[in-house]
Amino acid sequence: MTLLPRSLFGRTLLVLVTGMMLAEIASQVVNFFDRGSGVYRLGAQQMALRIAQSARILNRLTSAQRSAVIDEMNGPTFSVVLSSTPVDVGKGLAEHDRYERALSALIKLYLRSEWSTSVEITSLGRARRPRNYEAVDSSPLEQWIARHFYFVLPGTYSIVSQIKLEDGTTAVFYARIPQEPLSRLESLLPRLLLTLAIFVVLGAAAVRVITRSLERLARAAEQVGAEPEGAPLQEDGPSEVRSVIRAFNRMRLDLRSYLLERARMLGAISHDLQTPITRLRLRAEMLADAKSRAKFVRDLDEMDVIAASTLEFFKSLGNEPQRQPLDVGALVGSLCEDWSETGRDVTVQGLPRGPYNSHPQALRRCLNNLVENALRYGARARISIEDDDAALRIVVRDDGPGIPEQDLERVFEPFFRLEQSRNRDSGGTGLGLAIARNIARWHGGDIHLRNAPDGKGLIAELVLPRSRSSAVR
């Protein structure tokens, strides 16, 4: 089983939405890091300025004043401790060295004096954090991202800068860039889901416009066989689809005129053959040898039948370029009656649900050929009519010898007759099934032959599809 959608609509939509989603994710991620690093860089600069200014203020105060000011300065992200010697805060991560240098240079710039300054970016253990220092949990992924992409790290990392004041005291500043909740990775998800929903809706609308015209084209292509004389397809949709529809309409016209031309030509040949055949017949009558005269006449009779039946077939198609709603039940009934009147055993069972768009004479001829075969090669014909949404089926069943499996298709070839029927001299020309299938296909349907399961007789099934256009409402 494949997970790919089967329809063009599904596939195009999938490709479109996946592509747009990937582009969106990429741009969101770039934006996420870019904005994150911008925010933290700015935060770090502000922090450097605050540290430098605090150091300069502390430098001017007496030690009694200093402790009061420090109490006011200390907060959750910033605190100062005064120490007589520099504090050992441990080495931070190597990746931070360049940020430490940059920060230290910045603080020196804001200090406007040459006091000894050191900056260490470090992950402080809980015990070493100054009191009321806000603890933030960040995931290992966030820490990894922060370490590799940001100037200074939010959350667990602190900037510890130590500045030696003029009286020799070291002011130790613990500063932390506050974490910005908007920049957290989880915040991307709802935004991506929203964009996904918008992409699906807009994409579906766009793809629908294209596939709708294609669908109509596909339906028309299906119908072209079933109804060559149907109305041309309306040219609309995108320009590419419009030009396909135009080409398609032209092809349909060509095909139709080809079919009609072929019918007209064969009809003309069969018609023109009748005169020479009649002349030959007259000449044959004059032959002295009775035996060869009889043979001649028999051959000429056969030619006559071939010419006449071909002519009749194409005439019926040519004269009825338009199909008309036909009560197939009544047609089969009257056919059955005609045969019964000549003493043949033909029965019908079942009724169609409604009229069927067809060429009445041609359809009658088609069915008649099947019934004629059933009666010629068997003794009786059982006709049954089945009708559903998909197709109207007319099944003709006989009780004859059937047809060997390997010949079931060959008997449709014009002039092909089975050996036993030739020997029986039953008088057929071998054109009946070819004509019947031709008529069935002209209606968009077909004829299938199979031997009865119990080995008794042949089952000939005429299938006439009930497409949108052939159904009569």
Ligand X SMILES: Nc1ncnc2c1ncn2[C@@H]1O[C@H](COP(=O)(O)OP(=O)(O)OP(=O)(O)O)[C@@H](O)[C@H]1O
Residues at the site binding ligand X, with contacts judged by CB under 6 A = 369, 373-374, 377-378, 398, 400-403, 411, 417-418, 421, 428-434, 458
Ordered DSSP codes for 402-471 = ---GGGTTGGGSTT---HHHHHHT----S-HHHHHHHHHHHTT-EEEEEE-TTSSSEEEEEEEE--TTTB
Whole-number minimum distance, CB 296 to Mg ion, in Å? 24
In three-state secondary structure terms, 473 is: coil
- For the bound state, the minimum distance from the C-beta of residue 410 to ligand X, rounded and expressed in Å, comes to 8
Following DSSP, what letter does each residue of 234-302 receive, concatenated? Answer: P--SSHHHHHHHHHHHHHHHHHHHHHHHHHHHHHHHHHHHHHHHHHHHHHHHT-S-HHHHHHHHHHHHH
Could you tell which of ligand X, Mg ion, none binds residue 317, using a CB distance below 5 to 8 A set by kind? none
411 interface partner picked from Mg ion, ligand X, none, CB below 5 to 8 A per type: ligand X
3-state helix, strand, coil in the chain (%, to 5): 60, 15, 25
Taking the least distance from each CB to ligand X, the nearer of 350 and 401 is 401
Q: Which is nearer to ligand X, 121 or 463 (CB)?
A: 463
Site string for Mg ion, 436-465 (x = CB under 5 A): ------------------------------
Residue 392 is classified by DSSP as: E
Measured from the CB atom, is 428 or 465 closer to Mg ion?
Answer: 428
Phi-psi domain of 2 (left: phi exceeds 0; alpha: psi -120 through 50; beta: other): beta
| Residue 277 interacting partner from Mg ion, ligand X, none (CB closer than 5 to 8 Å by kind) | none
Q: Please tell me the distance from the alpha carbon of residue 120 to that of residue 135, in angstroms, as a whole number.
A: 19
- Cβ of residue 373: shortest distance to Mg ion, in angstroms? 4
104/438 with CB nearer Mg ion: 438
Part in contact with Mg ion (CB under 5 A); list of ranges 233-241, 284-292, 303-311, 431-439: 431-439
| CA nearest neighbour of 464 among 317, 350, 318, 328 | 328
- For 272, 285, 290, the CA distances from 295, given in Å and listed in that order, are 23, 11, 9
Q: Residue 400, interface with Mg ion (CB under 5 A)? A: no
Judged by CB, which is closer to Mg ion: 314, or 412?
412
Q: Which is closer to Mg ion, CB of 117 or CB of 373?
A: 373
Residue 331 amino acid letter: L
CB-count exposure of residue 462 (10 Å: 0-12, 13-18, 19+): buried
Find tokens 């090669």 and name the residue: 377
Based on CB atoms, which residue is closest to Mg ion, 432 or 445? 432
**Residue 122 binds which of Mg ion, ligand X, none (CB < 5-8 A, kind-dependent):** none
Is 373 a binder of Mg ion (CB under 5 A)? yes
203 binds, among ligand X, Mg ion, none (CB under 5 to 8 A by kind): none
Compare residues 92 and 428 and give the one whose CB is closer to ligand X: 428
Q: Are 48 and 121 in contact (CB under 8 A)?
A: no
Rounded to a whole number of angstroms, the minimum distance from the CB of residue 241 to Mg ion is 46
Structure tokens at 412: 């449709």
Minimum distance, C-beta of residue 384 to ligand X, in the bound complex (Å): 15
Indicate the residue among 114 and 454 with the shorter CB distance to ligand X: 454
CB of 404 to ligand X, least distance (A): 9
Q: Which of 43, 267, 400, 432 contacts Mg ion by CB under 5 A?
A: 432
Least Cβ distance, residue 11 to ligand X (angstroms): 46
In the complex, minimum distance from the CB of residue 373 to ligand X, in angstroms, rounded to a whole number: 3
H or E element in which residue 356 lies: strand 356-358
Q: Which of the ranges 107-115, 223-231, 294-302, 421-429 carries the binding residues for Mg ion, by CB under 5 A?
A: 421-429
At what angle are helices 188-226 and 8-60 packed, to 10 degrees?
A: 170
Side by side, the strands of the sheet bearing 345-349 are 345-349, 380-387, 391-398, 458-465, 446-451
Select the span of 81-89, 167-175, 226-234, 425-433 touching Mg ion (CB under 5 A). Answer: 425-433
**Shortest Cβ distance from residue 240 to Mg ion (Å)?**
49
> At its nearest, how many Å lie between ligand X and the CB of residue 310?
10
Nearer to ligand X, 158 or 429 (CB): 429
Among 26, 8, 4, 5, residue whose Cα is nearest residue 195: 26
Binding at 440: pick from Mg ion, ligand X, none (beta carbon under 5-8 Å per type): none
C-alpha dihedral, 84 to 90 to 91 to 97, nearest 10°: -40
CA dihedral of 268, 269, 271, 277, whole degrees rounded to 10: 160
Residues contributing to the site for Mg ion (CB under 5 A): 373, 428, 432
